[in-house]
Amino acid sequence: MGKYMSNNMNKLEEDYPELYDIVDKLNDMVYDGEVLDEKTLKLIAIAIAASTNNDVAIKMQMKHGLDDYGITKNEIMDVLKIVLLLAGKPAFTKSIGVLYSLIDE
């Protein structure tokens, strides 16, 4: 799929290349790893996605973390414990389900 986890970015690049360039530069700036390494930044992204209670966002962030950053189930569980504390049980349990669906594939 390339750099982005959504085919929508491919469409944006085709139809609105100037806007795509802006979004692409913002993405690079956010994930530059200036102080925090990319793996830590991805764990933060997983936590934020999990707190939204959005299945698609959770799955995309976790899958990318597991596949591309070597993030482990236990590292994600550490993050999800924070989600439980700050975002609540529904976000936590949905995220647990997504995690297990990915590692059981």
Prediction pTM value: 0.84
Mean pLDDT across 60-66: 94
Where residue 69 falls among pLDDT bands split at 50, 70, 90? very high
CA angle, corner 10, sides to 6 and 14, nearest 5? 155
pLDDT digits (tens, 9 = 90+) for 5-62: 677 888 999 999 999 999 999 988 888 878 999 999 999 999 999 999 999 999 999 9
Query: Hey, what are 92's tokens?
Result: 């936590």
If we measure between CA atoms, which residue out of 64, 98, 102, 56 comes closest to residue 80?
A: 98
Query: Hey, what are 56's tokens?
Result: 């698609």
The pLDDT value given to residue 27: 85
Q: Are 75 and 50 in contact (CB under 8 A)?
A: no
